[in-house]
């Protein structure tokens, strides 16, 4: 490649924005293209574990995020009816001493804004919906809905579950609807009466759950996200409004802690939970994928964005260690060092068992993308689909 390679990142979600910030810190020439005209503070929270906080440290926003977020002392799992604590996973000071970074929960929009500010001014271009990508061999041509055309040497598809880059690599195929939806609501804690909530609790029954946590350091705002069976979903809709009545029906008979949240709700929306089986490839030619573009998952480990951000960090590491001249080799190294972990998180998320009992989460929270020894492509394991792997795991356990 002559001169400094131009890297185009498509999609300024958490994965794409992290990629741009990390690549810039290593001196790469990056542009970030986003279809949305602007970002707003959508009603959702997010967990940020030590595995992600170490990447935020590298970007330079660890302190800002620590100041912004809520620091749960434990992840509690509780029984839906009795409220009994069925698991208690230490976070707080334990996370700092054991994993070397904090575990926090935060408003997703606040986190995204902080990360976006870490990208150099002029890098992020809004209103740039990619409509076509052509790998011409020596360069990639990008066409946008506004009629503009740009060129890049490398294109990173961080464009989410309906990725245009994935479609270009593998053909059009909608993601799979899992048969579950997630209700999401954020509102002031002052609206919640009759129950004192811990900082982070998941309420479980056999077929549904409600995850609840504060999303600010001031503990003035609370967030819940559910997983509820729903046989069908109109795939033309990315979300729909829900209602307090719908929540009352879905959680009829549940503990007072859950009822207190439903009654305090201001506005609630519902989202389909989507997945894809592991892709046969993550790159071809000058195009490479990360995050939901290549491994969308149920959010039940609260690690979907974490996997996108870890991908961004590993891809940057591979660019630094293996260079960009032979990008095919670099992309193979990246995939070899990400596919197995991303698929494991996809599978456990699919099973929805994470931290329901007092299991050891070290393999997930203790991962350091900058320190983990790299494996060569030939040595990497081939991942199975989330559902197939879950069935196989059950069969093995039963045998």
Is residue 53 a contact point for ligand FAD (CB under 6 A)?
no
Is residue 69 a contact point for ligand FAD (CB under 6 A)?
no
Shortest separation between residue 224's beta carbon and ligand FAD, angstroms? 10
- The stretch near ligand FAD (CB under 6 A) out of 53-61, 75-83, 302-310, 367-375 is 302-310
Among 7, 156, 158, 348, binds ligand FAD (CB under 6 A): 158
CA distance 227 to 207: 8
Is residue 14 a contact point for ligand FAD (CB under 6 A)?
yes
Is residue 153 a contact point for ligand FAD (CB under 6 A)?
no
- The stretch near ligand FAD (CB under 6 A) out of 77-85, 191-199, 292-300, 355-363 is 292-300
Among 30, 34, 104, 337, binds ligand FAD (CB under 6 A): 34
Residue number, 181 or 192, with CB nearest to ligand FAD? 181
Residue number, 7 or 225, with CB nearest to ligand FAD? 225
Dihedral sign from CA coordinates of 272, 276, 282, 287: negative
Shortest separation between residue 49's beta carbon and ligand FAD, angstroms? 8
- The stretch near ligand FAD (CB under 6 A) out of 28-36, 91-99, 148-156, 194-202 is 28-36
Helix 339-351 crosses helix 386-398 at what angle (to 10 degrees)?
70
Among 6, 54, 71, 164, binds ligand FAD (CB under 6 A): 164
CA distance 327 to 53: 28
Is residue 47 a contact point for ligand FAD (CB under 6 A)?
yes
Is residue 16 a contact point for ligand FAD (CB under 6 A)?
yes
What positions carry a catalytic annotation?
A: 47, 213
Among 129, 141, 176, 248, binds ligand FAD (CB under 6 A): 129
Among 160, 264, 278, 383, binds ligand FAD (CB under 6 A): 160
Which position has the token pair 């549940």? 254
Shortest separation between residue 130's beta carbon and ligand FAD, angstroms? 4
Is residue 175 a contact point for ligand FAD (CB under 6 A)?
no
- The stretch near ligand FAD (CB under 6 A) out of 77-85, 152-160, 326-334, 373-381 is 152-160
Is residue 233 a contact point for ligand FAD (CB under 6 A)?
no
Give me the residues that bind ligand FAD (CB under 6 A), please.
Answer: 10-16, 33-36, 46-47, 128-130, 158-160, 164, 182, 184, 225, 271, 291-293, 299, 302-306, 308
């Amino acid at each position: 490649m002559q001169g400094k390679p131009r890297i185009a990142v498509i999609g300024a979600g958490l994965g794409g924005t992290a990629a741009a910030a990390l690549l810039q810190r290593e001196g790469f020439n990056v542009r970030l293209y986003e279809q949305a005209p602007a970002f707003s503070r959508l009603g959702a929270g997010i967990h940020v574990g030590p595995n992600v906080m170490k990447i935020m440290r590298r970007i330079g926003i660890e302190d800002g995020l620590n100041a912004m977020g809520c620091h749960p002392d434990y992840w509690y799992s509780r029984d839906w009816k009795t409220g009994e604590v069925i698991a208690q996973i230490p976070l707080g000071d334990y996370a700092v001493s054991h994993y070397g970074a904090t575990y926090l929960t935060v408003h997703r929009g606040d986190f995204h804004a902080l990360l976006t500010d870490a990208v150099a001014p002029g890098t992020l271009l809004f209103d740039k919906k990619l409509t076509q990508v052509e790998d011409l061999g020596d360069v990639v041509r990008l066409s946008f809905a506004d009629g503009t055309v740009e060129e890049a040497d490398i294109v990173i598809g961080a464009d989410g579950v309906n990725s245009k880059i994935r479609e270009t690599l593998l053909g059009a195929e909608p993601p799979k609807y899992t048969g579950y939806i997630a209700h999401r609501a954020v509102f002031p804690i002052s609206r919640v009466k009759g129950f004192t909530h811990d900082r982070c609790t998941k309420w479980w029954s056999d077929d549904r759950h409600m995850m609840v946590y504060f999303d600010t350091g001031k503990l003035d705002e609370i967030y819940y996200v559910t997983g509820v069976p729903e046989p069908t979903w109109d795939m033309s809709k990315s979300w729909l409004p829900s209602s307090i009545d719908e929540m009352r029906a879905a959680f009829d008979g549940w503990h007072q802690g859950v009822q207190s949240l439903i009654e305090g709700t201001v506005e609630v929306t519902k989202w389909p939970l989507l997945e894809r089986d592991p892709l046969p490839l993550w790159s071809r030619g000058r195009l490479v994928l990360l995050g939901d573009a290549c491994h969308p998952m149920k959010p039940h480990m609260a690690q979907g964005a974490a996997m996108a951000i870890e991908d961004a960090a590993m891809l940057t590491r591979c660019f630094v260690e293996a260079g960009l001249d032979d990008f095919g080799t670099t992309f193979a190294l990246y995939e070899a060092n990400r596919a197995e972990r991303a698929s494991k998180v996809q599978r456990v998320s699919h099973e929805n068992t994470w931290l329901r009992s007092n299991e050891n989460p070290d393999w997930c929270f203790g991962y350091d993308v900058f320190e983990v020894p790299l494996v060569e492509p030939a040595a990497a394991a081939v991942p199975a689909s989330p559902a197939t792997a879950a069935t196989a795991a059950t069969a093995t356990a039963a045998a």
